[in-house]
């Protein structure tokens, strides 16, 4: 209680000093603030005076312009003299423009002032003017600037009149010279009124500035007076506040001093009660079955009776403490795992601080008694005794868990035997996996060979289709050649052939031969294997495929509706492989139409595009694919044809080309469309290839 009262009195004294410091700082800050306010008012006055000074400069420049105009008309006779005066006029106009720019936008105006004083012949005077608002500008500025532009035009006009007058004088044309002189005089008679109006504008600018300065000066004087009154009131208020508050605190300090004398009497009684309480705590600690040690974080302070019972060679804690600095001196260094700690640093922390920093972990130690190892579970708790001083103690608890550890060791021994059994089974499983890997390699090679065989079969089937298509393509031209040659032979034998007939028959036969040659070239290009992927037009590939199949389609009266002739479908890949896909689908459509004996046989080809893909549709009217097999038609070796007609790998290889080689999609479904006014059903193959 006495300590509390003493601390409280000390705090009040500190508060009293702080109040006086606060009063001093408040007065200092208040003086600074009002000084700053007065300075701002003075700056405003200075800025307005700068505006008036700039107006005076403009007035001087206008007077100089008027004098220069008079000089231009009355004292200049040569062109060189006129150019000098005109240069002075333009220079003066530029000075006026600079002054007007400062009035409109703010800034510093530098002006040469000629002083007839030694050492000050070339004096530069600077006038700084600040504009707070772009809209705050004088109306006279708006009036003056256009007149400056008029002055420039007037200079040019006067110069032209003077040139003409000088030219007439040079030519000794007295009549024209007199007329020109009269024009100059009439022109100059109008100038005084013009410059008078301009001077009036400047006068209004100066009068406005002086009137504003007078008003502002009056307002500033009133504001200064008001500021000084406010400042005086605030200073008096702060002084009174500090005095009253200081008096209250001094009175409370005196009261606390009187109370301290009564507190000291109670202190002795409190100490007696604490002594009894400590004895009670000691009895509780000694009754615990765990070893409990109290430390300041570095040195041991106290311990319960269980410490002496475990280390029975010591009579009491004082004797134990005199011979040992730390309980950690007894920690065994030969530990079974990381859960146990020894006397060392962990992550840069001493072992005790490391335990405190990781309260959720379980830590263990090993200590020996009579040569036998004992296992302890270690826990540490830090308790703050005084929040003000930060004084704290660490309570270390060591719970003997030797019996539990012994049971765990026995259980681990049993688990070890079980581990051997598991290891043997694992070995057998590994051997089985090795054999399985070998089998997988063998089967993979078989699949690879099978795929190679399927590819070869597909190529052979394609070659068979090509030979059939070549036969169809060649049948009609060969028959025509044979007919033409036989007819010509008979005519020659009968003596009926003329030279013209022979030449005509020759040209006809050569035409058929060219057609056969072109057919061979088309089929060679069709069967050529591309070496690399390139950009190509899918429509060109469709047309090339149709040229190969056209003859066989004509033989069986199959109509091809090709709606892709006038479009472009750019893609990227191998054109010849895509031709193989189209050929497989078209051949399957032809076989289905022939097998089902459709009267109006038809295959429709059309296309469209979306954001990612070029889409080609190939639709026949053969009645469609049965629903029970439509999902199997892309499987290898699946075919509905006789073994002598199909291998079942054409569509499988087509799907592989589109989806694996060209990153596209190949699918089929049965759908119905109209043809020649009639509805028909058939298989519709959908080929989706990426756009480029």
CATH 1.10.10 fits 47-229, yes or no: no
Residue 112 pLDDT more than 70? yes
What CATH number belongs to 288-400? 3.30.450.20
Residue 564: per-residue pLDDT: 87
* For range 77-90, the mean pLDDT: 79
Residue 366: per-residue pLDDT: 93
Pairing verdict, β 559-562 and 534-537: unpaired
Q: How far apart are CA 612 and CA 691, in angstroms?
A: 6
8 Å CB contact between 104 and 66: no
Nearest residue to 109 (alpha-carbon basis) of 52, 180, 32? 52
Cα distances from 366 to residues 52, 320, 375, 401, 402, in angstroms, run 96, 19, 5, 10, 9
Residue 152: per-residue pLDDT: 74
Residue 585: per-residue pLDDT: 92
Cα distances from 560 to residues 47, 467, 518, 564, in angstroms, run 94, 21, 22, 12
CATH 3.30.565.10 fits 528-690, yes or no: yes
Residue 525: per-residue pLDDT: 53
Neighbours of 585 (CB within 10 A): 24
Largest CA distance in the chain: 165
What is the DSSP annotation of 519-568? HHHHHHHHHPPPSS-EEEEHHHHHHHHHHHHHHHHHHTT-EEEE--TT--
Q: Which two tokens stand for residue 651?
A: 């569509």
Over the stretch 220-250, which tens digit does the pLDDT of each residue have?
777 667 767 786 777 787 788 778 877 777 7
Residue 515 pLDDT more than 60? no
Residue 537: per-residue pLDDT: 92
Residue 379: per-residue pLDDT: 86
8 Å CB contact between 581 and 654: yes
Nearest residue to 92 (alpha-carbon basis) of 152, 161, 162? 152
Q: Could you tell me how many helices (H) and strands (E) the chain has, helices first?
A: 12, 16
Residue 687 pLDDT more than 90? yes
Cα distances from 55 to residues 49, 50, 92, 167, 547, in angstroms, run 10, 9, 14, 41, 95
Neighbours of 507 (CB within 10 A): 9
* For range 189-217, the mean pLDDT: 65
Q: How far apart are CA 535 and CA 564, in angstroms?
A: 18
464 vs 102, higher pLDDT: 102
How far is C-alpha 44 from the chain's CA centre? 48
CATH 3.30.565.10 residue ranges for the chain: 528-690
Residue 477: per-residue pLDDT: 62
Nearest residue to 690 (alpha-carbon basis) of 667, 668, 661, 669? 661
CATH 1.10.287 residue ranges for the chain: 413-526
499 — alpha (psi -120 to 50), left (phi > 0) or beta?
Answer: alpha
Nearest residue to 130 (alpha-carbon basis) of 36, 220, 47, 206? 47
CATH 3.30.450.20 residue ranges for the chain: 288-400
Q: How far apart are CA 434 and CA 438, in angstroms?
A: 6
Q: How far apart are CA 150 and CA 205, in angstroms?
A: 20
**HEC string of 294-359?**
EECCCCEEEECHHHHHHCCCCCCHHHHHHHCCCHHHHCCCCCCCCCECCCCEECCEEHHHHHHHCC
Q: Which two tokens stand for residue 612?
A: 């990612």
Q: How confident is the model at residue 336 (pLDDT cuts 50, 70, 90)?
A: confident
DSSP state of 674: E
Domain covering 413-526, topology: Helix Hairpins (1.10.287)
Residue 678: per-residue pLDDT: 80
Over the stretch 577-634, which tens digit does the pLDDT of each residue have?
888 889 889 988 998 999 888 888 999 999 999 989 999 999 999 999 998 888 888 8
Q: How confident is the model at residue 416 (pLDDT cuts 50, 70, 90)?
A: low
559 vs 440, higher pLDDT: 559
Residue 1 pLDDT more than 60? no
Which of 142-151, 203-212, 304-313 has the highest average model confidence (pLDDT)?
Answer: 304-313
8 Å CB contact between 193 and 104: no
Q: How confident is the model at residue 167 (pLDDT cuts 50, 70, 90)?
A: confident
322 vs 257, higher pLDDT: 322
Over the stretch 291-335, which tens digit does the pLDDT of each residue have?
998 888 788 888 888 888 898 888 888 888 888 888 898 999 888
pTM of the predicted structure, to 2 decimals: 0.34
Residue 492 pLDDT more than 60? yes
* For range 88-109, the mean pLDDT: 83
Over the stretch 35-65, which tens digit does the pLDDT of each residue have?
766 666 667 777 777 777 887 777 778 778 7
């Amino acid at each position: 209680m006495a300590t509390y009262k003493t601390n409280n009195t000390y705090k009040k004294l500190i508060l009293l000093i702080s109040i006086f410091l606060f009063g001093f700082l408040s007065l200092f800050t208040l003086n600074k603030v009002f000084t700053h306010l007065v300075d701002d008012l003075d700056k405003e006055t200075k800025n307005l005076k700068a505006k008036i000074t700039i107006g005076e400069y403009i007035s001087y420049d206008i007077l100089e312009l008027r004098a220069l105009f008079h000089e231009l008309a009355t004292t200049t006779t040569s062109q060189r003299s006129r150019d000098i005066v005109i240069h002075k006029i333009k220079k003066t106009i530029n000075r006026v423009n600079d002054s007007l720019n400062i009035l409109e936008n703010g800034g510093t105006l530098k002006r040469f002032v000629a002083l007839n004083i030694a050492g000050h012949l070339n004096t530069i005077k600077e006038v700084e003017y600040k504009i707070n608002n772009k809209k705050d500008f004088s109306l006279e500025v708006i009036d003056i600037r256009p007149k400056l532009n008029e002055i420039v035009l007037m200079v040019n006009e006067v110069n032209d009149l003077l040139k003409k007058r000088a030219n007439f004088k040079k030519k000794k044309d007295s009549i024209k010279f007199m007329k020109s002189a009269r024009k100059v005089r009439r022109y100059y008679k109008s100038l005084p009124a013009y410059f008078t109006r301009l001077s009036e504008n400047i006068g209004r600018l100066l009068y406005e500035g002086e009137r504003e300065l007078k008003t502002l000066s009056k307002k500033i004087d009133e504001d200064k007076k008001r500021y000084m009154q406010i400042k005086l009131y605030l200073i008096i208020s702060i002084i009174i506040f500090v005095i009253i508050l200081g008096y209250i605190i001094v009175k409370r300090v005196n009261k606390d001093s009187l109370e301290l004398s009564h507190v000291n009497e109670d202190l002795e009684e409190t100490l007696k009660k604490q002594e009894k309480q400590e004895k009670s705590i000691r009895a509780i600690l000694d009754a615990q079955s765990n070893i409990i040690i109290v430390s300041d974080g570095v040195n041991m302070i106290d311990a319960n009776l269980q410490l002496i019972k475990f280390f029975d060679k010591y009579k009491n804690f004082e004797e134990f403490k005199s011979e040992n600095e730390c309980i950690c001196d007894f920690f065994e260094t030969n530990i079974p795992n990381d859960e146990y700690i020894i006397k060392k640093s962990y992550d840069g922390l001493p072992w005790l601080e490391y335990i405190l920093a990781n309260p959720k972990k379980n830590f263990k130690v090993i200590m020996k008694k009579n040569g036998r190892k004992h296992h302890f579970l270690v826990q540490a708790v830090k308790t703050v005794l005084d929040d003000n001083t930060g004084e704290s103690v660490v309570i270390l608890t060591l719970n003997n868990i030797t019996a539990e550890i012994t049971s765990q060791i026995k259980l681990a021994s049993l688990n070890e035997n079980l581990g051997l059994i598991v290891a043997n089974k694992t070995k057998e499983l590994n051997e089985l996996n090795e054999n399985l890997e070998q089998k997988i390699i063998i089967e993979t090679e078989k699949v690879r060979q099978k795929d190679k065989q399927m590819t070869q079969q597909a190529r052979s089937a394609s070659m068979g289709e090509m030979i059939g298509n070549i036969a169809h393509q060649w049948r009609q031209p060969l028959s025509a050649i044979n007919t033409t040659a036989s007819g010509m032979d008979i005519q020659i034998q009968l003596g009926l052939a003329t030279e013209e007939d022979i030449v005509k028959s020759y040209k006809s036969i050569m035409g058929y031969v060219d057609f056969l040659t072109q057919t061979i070239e088309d089929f060679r290009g069709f069967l050529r294997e591309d070496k690399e992927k390139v950009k190509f037009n899918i429509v060109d590939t469709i047309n090339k495929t149709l040229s190969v199949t056209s003859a066989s389609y004509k033989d069986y009266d199959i109509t091809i509706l090709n709606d892709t002739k006038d479009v472009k479908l750019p893609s990227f890949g191998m054109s010849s492989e895509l031709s193989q896909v189209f050929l497989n689908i078209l051949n399957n459509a032809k076989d289905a139409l022939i097998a089902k004996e459709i009267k109006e046989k038809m295959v429709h080809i059309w296309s469209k595009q979306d954001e990612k893909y070029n889409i080609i549709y190939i639709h026949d009217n053969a009645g469609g694919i049965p629903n029970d097999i439509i999902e199997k038609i892309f499987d290898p070796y699946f075919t509905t044809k006789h073994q002598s007609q199909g291998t079942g790998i054409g569509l499988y290889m087509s799907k592989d080309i589109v989806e694996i080689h060209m990153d596209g999609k190949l699918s089929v479904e049965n759908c119905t469309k109209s043809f020649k006014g009639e509805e028909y059903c058939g298989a519709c193959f959908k080929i989706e290839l990426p756009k480029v």
